[in-house]
Amino acid sequence: MRAIRIREYGGPEVLELAEIDKPVAHDDYVVCRIHAAGLNRGDVVQREGRYPPPPGAPDTPGFEFAGVVESVGPAVTRWKAGNKVCGLLAGGGYAEYCLIHEGHMLPLPDGWTMAEGAGLIEAIATVWTTIFDQVVLKPGETLLVHGGASGIGTMAIQMAKAIGADVLTTVSGAERGARCVALGADAAIDYTTQDFVKEVLALTDGRGADVILDMVAGDYMAKNIECAAMNGRLATIAWQRGSEITLDFRAPMRKRMLLSQSALRARDVAEKSRIMRGVEQDFWPHIVAGRIKPVIASTYPLAEAGAAQSEMERGGHVGKIVLLVD
């Protein structure tokens, strides 16, 4: 089968089409024909040699896909050949076929394109486990989402509004801010021209954000603590400005804060299955009702994975970038 191979660690040019063996269904695992695969920042970091696949995962990049079940193992109970699905992978999405545990898939929502399905799962699973399972955002609380125009950010805005939370977000540029407000954000802060700490405190009458979803880290950590509310929760899922910092812990202690970190890719089969059940139970009704849908920024053929990752690295897009595998 065709798949994208990382020839060597480096820039987008190291991504190339290759022929690899097609997987075989077994036990409670399913083989799916991939029609679309979502891009994530982790794909870029893997290409650079800084995010290796967990043990047992394919070297092929790609954490999420949408497609059709082709074959099932003898212990599979939920799925059958022909089902349209979207799924969460530890790797292997940039390919024509993937092998996936049956608990790591959900049905493709009626009326959705494969591109939309491919842009859903990694984002909604990440937000669910981080914001709703670990730090427990509640109705009426204020969520600050950094990177509101990203795939994670656009999903977090919609999920938080669906449960009745207030949402503030940081973005670069007025146009991207307007897109986030259109998705439901109560206010968008342009971090290129505004001090987000001052803006968050002003927008909350000095109280601060109850929950902060951060993918920046670095120098944002102290600023996040400064604009957090008493008993605030800071959830960090990436470190675009660096993973090592010096932090005075007296500030979060005074606010009785919870500092939470989360990574999804390397979790075991049972934990990922639990997360997918939580997503389906808590948010599938909102998806069916049309209150939550991924924003698709652009699509590329599988062979142009390098160009797709280049767009991601340039920034400026809103939502998810998706590879089409047909």
The model's pLDDT over 126-147, given as tens digits with 9 standing for 90+, comes to: 999 999 999 999 999 999 999 9
Q: What is the mean pLDDT of the chain?
A: 97
DSSP H or E stretch at residue 323: strand 320-324
Give the confidence band of 52 by pLDDT, cuts at 50, 70, 90: very high
pTM: 0.96
CA torsion 285-144-205-166 (nearest 10°) is: -10
Give the confidence band of 75 by pLDDT, cuts at 50, 70, 90: very high
Q: Please indicate whether the domains covering 2-120+294-324 and 124-261 agree at the CATH topology level.
A: no
Give the confidence band of 170 by pLDDT, cuts at 50, 70, 90: very high
Give the confidence band of 241 by pLDDT, cuts at 50, 70, 90: confident
Look up the CATH architecture of domain 2-120+294-324. Alpha-Beta Complex (3.90)
Mean pLDDT (whole number) for 70-94: 98
Q: What pLDDT sits at residue 116?
A: 98
Q: What pLDDT sits at residue 8?
A: 98
Is it the case that residue 240 has pLDDT exceeding 90? no
CATH classification (class only), 124-261:
alpha beta
DSSP H or E stretch at residue 277: helix 269-288
- Residue 170 dihedral angles phi and psi, to the nearest 5°: -105, 140
Of 108, 91, 101, 106, which is closest to residue 35 (Cα–Cα)?
108
Q: Alpha-carbon distance 173 to 176, whole Å?
A: 6
Burial class (CB in 10 A: 0-12, 13-18, 19+), 260: middle
Is it the case that residue 245 has pLDDT exceeding 90? no
Q: Alpha-carbon distance 26 to 154, whole Å?
A: 36
Of 41, 51, 257, which is closest to residue 150 (Cα–Cα)?
41
Q: Alpha-carbon distance 186 to 31, whole Å?
A: 42
Segments making up each domain of the chain, as ranges: 2-120+294-324, 124-261
Q: What pLDDT sits at residue 242?
A: 85
Is it the case that residue 209 has pLDDT exceeding 90? yes
- Give the list of residues 6+ apart from residue 274 with CB closer than 8 angstroms, or none: none
262-288: per-residue pLDDT in tens? Answer: 999 999 999 999 999 999 999 999 999
- Would you give the end-to-end CA distance of the chain in angstroms? 12
Is it the case that residue 326 has pLDDT exceeding 90? no
Is it the case that residue 205 has pLDDT exceeding 90? yes
Mean pLDDT (whole number) for 108-126: 98
Is it the case that residue 239 has pLDDT exceeding 90? no
